[in-house]
Amino acid sequence: MKKINVLYISGSLGLGHITRDLAIARKLRQLLPDADIEWLASDPATKLLIESGEKLVPGADHYANENESAEKAAKGSSLNLLTYLLKSRGEWKKNISFFLDLIASKKYDLVIGDETYEINLALREHSDLKKFPFVMIFDFVGLDAMTRNPLEHLGVYYWNRVWSHDYRLKKKPPYDLALFVGEPEDIPDKPFGFMLPNRRDFARAMYTFIGYVFPFETSAYTDKQEVRKKLGYSNDPLLICALGGTAIGKELLELCGQAYVIAKEKIPQLRAVFVTGPRVPADKVNLPEGADIKGFIPRLYEHFAASDLAIIQGGATSAFELTALRRPFVYFPLAGHCEQANVSRILTQRGAGVSLDLAGTSPEVLAGKIVNLVGTNVSYPDIPNDGAMKAAQAIRNLLSSQPLSSEGV
């Protein structure tokens, strides 16, 4: 049987992408047992890949880390997405060079990129080097200006014009299949910009919608007490406060610590676990003495499932996991981050979670939310959670129409 050589490139801003990529890869292996998957990513995604026993591309440690650009672009718990993209140009050039050298030295039957915009651009500019079908994964469409700065508005317009380029000119895009994690209603029903196409219409024409991708079956976590027993938690009310996979947002964790001390006066048995993530040293966060502090937790969703309340940043992965698990949660979208602003819009439409602004939230206000929300029953509507299998099926269908180019055996 001929081996199918697959290169899977995971956009490594935080940990949200790699968790869904691993879920898709597992389903892809079920459908294509001969798939030999190599991974290209950077820290902290590589930590999870290694922990999962996956195979990295040789020299993957030289792949540029965009998390560092995001952390440099951030101002406290504020991250302007356009500023981050501009600061990432150097990393993008390095990653494009690495990728082009890689595909020149080894033949792949399939390349998958999860929000790897630099790879998409590279294949547009070097179409002669594309000897394989390319799958691109998206979870948002277009940028929005978040300030009144005219330079930001100009930059956003330019970026959105490039984004909608193939659709406007009816040209074949660099990708052979585009998967969108979510539903059409998740995309704003508005233009990319002046004289540019409607975003939702663009997505319906260009992308295949797969719903949401989770690294777990929600049915396995309906019994909260059973999950707690597995993780060693008692029956005391449990609060999980978690950052994402970058070093952005330690101010949020410190606010949670202050609020926890106040909330504990009204709920003495309340227990809190503070998850700093893989890029924030525990000794760099000012938390109450004796606080239960954890760093990198590979399966954080299990702790969410055990919780009576979670407090998180406004990233899509954690927010939608909590929605699927039907746990009460408070989330703080990063200021200036247009993608997280859209996530907040989606959550509001679903009636899931409580959104707060970090700059305008005092420890007393957050403590009040904790006391009112901990242990409450929530009834969020069902969320489509079979995206990993739908993605794998779409990829298999694409491959079935393509001749294999490798010499693998």
Q: How many beta carbons lie within 10 A of that of residue 396, not counting itself?
A: 15
Equal CATH topology for 4-213+386-400 and 219-373: yes
| Contact (Cβ atoms closer than 8 angstroms) between residue 363 and residue 324 | no
| Contact (Cβ atoms closer than 8 angstroms) between residue 144 and residue 156 | yes
- Provide the residue-wise pLDDT of the chain in tens; the chain has 409 residues: 578 999 999 986 667 789 999 999 999 999 999 999 999 998 888 888 998 999 999 988 878 766 565 555 556 655 555 666 666 677 878 889 999 999 999 999 999 999 998 899 899 999 999 999 999 999 999 988 888 888 888 888 988 998 898 777 777 899 999 999 999 999 999 999 999 999 999 999 999 999 999 999 988 999 999 999 999 999 999 999 998 766 567 888 999 999 999 999 999 999 999 998 777 777 788 898 888 999 888 889 999 999 999 999 888 889 999 999 999 999 998 776 778 888 899 999 999 999 999 889 999 999 999 999 998 999 998 888 899 999 999 999 999 987 554 443 3
Q: Domains of the chain: which residue ranges?
A: 4-213+386-400, 219-373
Distance CA 229, CA 235 (A): 9
| Contact (Cβ atoms closer than 8 angstroms) between residue 171 and residue 198 | no
Q: Does the domain formed by 219-373 have CATH 3.40.50.2000?
A: yes
pTM of the model: 0.89
Residues contacting 160, CB < 8 A, separation 6+: 142, 143, 192, 193, 196
Main-chain dihedrals φ then ψ at residue 51, nearest 5 degrees: -60, -30
> What is the model's pLDDT at position 42?
85
**4-213+386-400, superfamily in CATH?**
Glycogen Phosphorylase B; (3.40.50.2000)
What is the radius of gyration, based on Cα positions, of the chain? 21
